[in-house]
Amino acid sequence: MKRVIIMRGLPGSGKSFYLKKHYPDACVCSADHFFEDESGKYHFDPSKLNEAHKACLGKFLGLLQAGESIVCVDNTNMTSWEMSPYRSLANLFGYGVTIVRVLCTLENAIERNVHDVPDFVLERMINSMEEIPGCWSLIRTTFVNKTH
């Protein structure tokens, strides 16, 4: 069965590490990719965040249309509205959906934060993560405590 894996968690929680370890051959979509240059160096521009998420969703749609067997979304996905387009498209194309929430303390996220997200933003994010809507009960959710 074709699968979509939607990652959830703070920046620095280990989402990308988890994907590399458990789905090394999967196609990965991430808004972060938009900010990487040809050498892989990260250059974040908050004014282009909306554009980055549009590019991520566009890549995701293209991979589903191509029939890739495992497609992963490697974004923070703190709210249901952030995950909803991916979930809806996955359902439309006949993919099963798994949501993987990587649990991490605020202290660990701050320590591993490679994207220079301010500490106060990480704290706000950890306090505002939504629960998965009850109507999504058929989606398998996995909680990961240790990623490294």
Give the C-alpha separation, 71 to 66, whole Å: 11
Q: What's the predicted TM-score (pTM) here?
A: 0.87
Boundaries of domain holding 57:
3-144
Where residue 130 sits, what CATH number does that domain have? 3.40.50.300
Q: How many CA atoms lie within 13 A of 63 on its CB side?
A: 24
Phi, psi of 37 (to 5 degrees): -85, -175
Question: What pLDDT, on the 0 to 100 scale, is given for residue 64?
Answer: 98
Total domains present in the chain: 1
pLDDT per position in the chain (148 positions), as tens?
899 999 999 988 889 999 999 999 999 999 999 999 999 888 888 899 999 999 999 999 999 999 999 999 999 999 999 999 999 999 999 999 998 888 888 888 888 877 778 888 888 988 888 887 776 655 555 656 654 4
Quick: pLDDT tens for 22-43.
Answer: 999 999 999 999 999 999 888 8
